[in-house]
């Protein structure tokens, strides 16, 4: 009887370890809510290029559509971006155009641009993607304007950054 109790304790311990490791792995997958965005300026064409990389499951949750339904996802994503991304160049709003996305199982890249920009002395960026879906969302912004590279983190309490060049 004692031997069976010892075996049961071992199996219970093994089961506990498996469950604990599985729980840790599941929590680790969604522990951080981040995006990474690169903004660069092409002087020759006067184009501000914006590429945002987000977790696919996060953007699907935010817009209420799966990436597999491409036309519906595309339309909802465009509307979502129009509500959550604003850019001012030299204090004046510019038209930010959404021109597509690429996705895989883990991440989705979103491509935006603003054209006909003659010169940039200041940039105001409101980048509130996923802020409405995740309290701890952090959007990392990498800016490269006139070989002046800057990095920022946008959080819910500070959705707008202002940069002077």
Inter-residue contact 70 to 63 (CB < 8 Å):
no
Look at residue 65 and give its three-state secondary structure: coil
Quick one: which of 126, 122, 25 has its CA closest to 81?
Answer: 126
Q: Which domain holds residue 128?
A: 33-164
* Residue 79 shares a structural domain with residue 7: no
Q: What is the pLDDT of residues 112-130, one digit of tens each?
A: 999 999 999 999 999 999 9
Q: What is the pLDDT of residues 72-92, one digit of tens each?
A: 999 999 999 999 999 999 999
CATH of the domain at 159: 2.60.40
Under the banding of pLDDT at 50, 70 and 90, the label for residue 158 is confident
Phi-psi region of 130 (alpha: psi -120 to 50; beta: other; left: phi over 0): left
- The count of domains in the chain is 2
* Residue 65 shares a structural domain with residue 132: yes
Q: What is the pLDDT of residues 3-48, one digit of tens each?
A: 556 666 666 556 555 555 544 444 445 467 999 999 999 999 999 9
DSSP letters for 101-159: EEE-SSEEEEEEEE------SEEEEEE-TTTTT-TT-EEEEEEEETTEEEEEEEETTB-
* Residue 10 shares a structural domain with residue 70: no
* Residue 61 shares a structural domain with residue 27: no
pTM summary value:
0.78
* Residue 11 shares a structural domain with residue 63: no
Which residue in the block uniquely carries the two structure tokens 């002046």? Answer: 148
Q: Across the chain, what does the average pLDDT equal?
A: 87
* Residue 51 shares a structural domain with residue 87: yes
* Residue 88 shares a structural domain with residue 25: no
């Amino acid at each position: 009887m004692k031997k069976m109790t010892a075996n049961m304790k071992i199996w219970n311990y093994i089961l506990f370890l498996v469950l604990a490791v599985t729980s840790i792995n599941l929590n680790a997958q969604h522990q951080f809510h981040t995006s990474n965005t690169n903004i660069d300026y092409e002087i020759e064409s006067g184009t501000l290029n914006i590429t945002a990389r987000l977790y696919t499951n996060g953007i699907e949750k935010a817009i209420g559509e799966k990436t597999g339904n491409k036309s519906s996802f595309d339309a909802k994503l465009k509307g979502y971006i129009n509500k959550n991304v604003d850019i001012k160049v030299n204090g004046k709003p510019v038209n930010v155009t959404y021109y597509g996305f690429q996705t895989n199982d883990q991440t989705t890249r979103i491509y935006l641009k603003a054209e006909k920009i003659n010169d940039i002395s200041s940039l105001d960026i409101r980048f509130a993607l996923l802020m409405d879906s995740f309290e701890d969302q952090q959007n990392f912004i990498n800016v490269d304007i006139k070989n002046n590279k800057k990095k920022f983190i946008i959080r819910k309490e500070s959705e707008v950054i202002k940069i002077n060049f």
